[in-house]
A and B are shown apart, each in its own frame.
Chain A
Amino acid sequence: MPYALCFLLFMIGLYCVVVKKNMVKIVIGILVMEYAVNLFLIMLGYRMGGVAPIVGQSELDPSTGGLLSSFLNASVDPLPQALVLTSIVISLGSLALMISVCVRVYGKYGTFDITEIRRLKG
């Protein structure tokens, strides 16, 4: 169910990019898509009532020296969180570039409406 909602959010973003005519709204649509993917990544590693994946003395099994199976079953997957951090930084970079291009386009054309910004044809 949460995955379906995540996909719905992704589709809302895509719809926004395809339908909206205002450049800034298109940028917002792209951001919504990126957030949906980030959310999806986070949920892949999420566990209801999970514990932080940090191994201390109390997580080790005294008899075998390995990890306790209760810890392995409860700890969340830390890797998607690292991926999401990277992906947030990347989307920040592309957001900055997109917004600056929007500002420059507004300076040249005096409008954000993409139906009026049509010098390129063919």
Chain B
Amino acid sequence: MSIPLPLFVAIPLAAAFLLPMFGKKGKSAATVLANMVTLSLLVLAIVTIRQYGAYEVGKWSIPLGIILVRDGLSSLLLLAIGVVSSAAMLFSTRYMEQYTAKAKYLSLFLLMVAGMNGVVLSGDIFNLYVFLEIASIASYALVGFGCEHEELEASFKYMVLGSIASTFILFGIALVYGNTGALNMAYISKAIQDSGVNAGLAFALALFVTGFGLKAALVPFHAWLPDAHPSAPAPISAMLSGILIKTLGVYALARMVFNVFGVSVEIGWLLMVLGLSSMVVGAFLALGQWDFKRLLAYSSISQIGYVILGIGLGATLISQQASLAWASLAILGGLFHLVNHAVYKSLLFLTSGSVEMSTGTRQLREMGGLAERMPITRTTCAVASASIAGVPPFSGFWSKLILVVAAVQARLFWVAAIIVFVSLCTLIMYLKIHRYVFLGEVPRSLEHIKENKGSMLVAMVFLACLCVLMGLLVLVPGLRENVLDPAVQVLTDGVKYSADVMGMTIGT
């Protein structure tokens, strides 16, 4: 059965405009509808995982019209978006009862999902920008959703930096259009291969790295993330850290660098340096935090560094004409870490939301001894922490192992050493969370708290199970060939992308 690609954007978009009409009385109906939408997107993404192809919007053939392209990398990201958004939506069902205007929240949530699905499917550079703005504007509003002092301040900061990033990206798009005369990514890629990278295109690439780097919160551009992510409601923090920075930042950057401009040694090293500095700086800043969600936000910066490092290492190896097997191993490590991080970081943010809802505080020093009172939150948090710190056999261990092996094979022993060292720092910061939140004496003010019930637990247990089982994605060949390998293939093929896309459109 063939499913048209625009459905991935159209379903959440249509639901987002329907939901506010339910009003106060239809709140539960709106919640059910929103949950059905995210679940159906997840099911669609799983069912059609190998169904690649291109769709010409409005039957305009390329290069005149806009196309949507689905290849291995898009499929992987669609799957990750589906998993995280269904879990976060399920968690919101109960968690968002403390806020007013739930229907508006659900509507913004689905707009964000529609924007992200559009970004990963778009084969047109300007269309990518439009979807990126849909997702970003929805996320600005969601960060400020509580309308308290901190939320508004964080939302404004995020909005200013996000708007600058968007302007940079649009400027880059204008430069690319001026130099190549095309907006379709396949055609741009072909034009760049024919003409080579001139000064204007190099400037455009610099603007893209800055713009998408700001969206991905890589280290020189990370200032907004530790404010924005903790201020949002917990399920939104999970969405932002879990998937939004990866879709708008890492995915878009990887697509531009590998498939449109083509890799070079310089850009590979630039990505590796950005990745390494994010890993180290993020981990050190996280260690000093006493706010539960703020610590998680800094840890996100550090983990995004791993993803960028893997991709950058792959780019360097490809452009040095080194063995393609090790390059694809590095990229596999990066992309696998991306998916893993989406799962366990969203789980950690959900557990922090569960703790915050019960105790009413985010300060680590004001908590303690919650292990007996909130057993399921504690267990799921422990699974996610073990996973992010790289304890075998949880998922994080495998992706870090692959990255270390790839770094050693590239004769970059110091990179491997940094990966292991940052992993150790990660372990320390999550031990700190467990020590202060779940162990020790119970403060008098928290003696009557209880475990949260219902949908919140279901969402957390679902993600915790995934954390344990994700290792199978690399270990079982059948799963790897269907999910991860095609995505790696897209990046290692590089500028062959243009020929692939043109082949797809002729086929349809």
Residues of A within 8 A of B (CB): 10, 14, 17, 23, 26, 30, 33-34, 37, 40-41, 44, 79-80, 83, 86-87, 90, 93-94, 97-98, 101-102, 104-105, 108-109, 117-120, 122
Contacts and interface: CB of A to CB of B under 8 A. Distances in A.
Interface in B106-138: 126, 130, 133, 137
Interface in B146-194: 147-150, 152-157, 159-160, 163-164, 166-167, 170-171, 174, 177-178, 183
Given A37-B174, A41-B174, A44-B178, A105 B156 contact: yes
Contact of B174 (A26, A44, A117): A44
Contacts of A23: 156
B390 interface: no
B167 A34 contact: yes
Given A34-B163, A37-B170, A122-B226, 13 more contacts: A44-B178, A93-B133, A93-B137, A98-B156, A98-B159, A98-B160, A101-B140, A101-B156, A104-B147, A105-B152, A117-B153, A119-B149, A120-B231
B150 A120 contact: yes
B144 interface: yes
A10 B168 CA distance: 10
B295 to A, nearest CB: 10
B227 interface: yes
A94 B226 contact: no
Interface of B: 126, 130, 133, 137, 140-141, 144, 147-150, 152-157, 159-160, 163-164, 166-167, 170-171, 174, 177-178, 183, 226-227, 231, 285, 288-289, 291, 294
30 contacts: A10-B167, A17-B160, A17-B164, A26-B160, A30-B160, A33-B164, A33-B167, A37-B174, A40-B171, A41-B174, A44-B177, A44-B178, A80-B174, A90-B133, A94-B137, A94-B140, A94-B166, A98-B156, A101-B155, A101-B156, A101-B159, A102-B156, A104-B144, A104-B147, A108-B152, A119-B149, A119-B150, A120-B150, A120-B157, A122-B288
Contacts of A83: 126, 174, 177
Contact of B164 (A14, A41, A108): A14
B160 A97 contact: no
B174 A40 contact: yes
A47 B487 CA distance: 43
Contacts of A44: 174, 177-178
Sorted nearest first, the 8 A-B pairs with minimum C-beta distance are A44-B178, A33-B167, A120-B227, A105-B152, A30-B163, A41-B174, A90-B133, A37-B171
B144 A79 contact: no
B160 A119 contact: no
Contacts of A94: 133, 137, 140, 159, 163, 166
Contacts of B153: 105, 117-120
Nearest to B178: A44
A108 B148 CA distance: 8
Nearest to B298: A122
Contacts of A26: 160
Contacts of A79: 177, 183
B141 A97 contact: yes
A48 to B, nearest CB: 17
A104 B152 contact: yes
Given A41-B174, A94-B137, A30 B156 contact: no
A90 B156 contact: no
B125 to A, nearest CB: 10
Contacts of A86: 126, 130
Contacts of A40: 171, 174
A118 B149 CA distance: 10
Contacts of A30: 160, 163-164, 167
Contacts of A108: 148-149, 152
A50 to B, nearest CB: 16
Contacts of B152: 101, 104-105, 108
A20 to B, nearest CB: 11
Contacts of A102: 156
A80 B163 contact: no
A44 B176 CA distance: 11
Nearest to B297: A122
A30 B160 CA distance: 8
A93 B132 CA distance: 13
Contacts of A98: 156, 159-160, 163
B291 to A, nearest CB: 8
A14 B161 CA distance: 11
A87 B130 CA distance: 8
Contacts of B178: 44
Most buried by A among B148, B153, B289: B153
A101 B148 CA distance: 11
A113 to B, nearest CB: 12
A83 B127 CA distance: 10
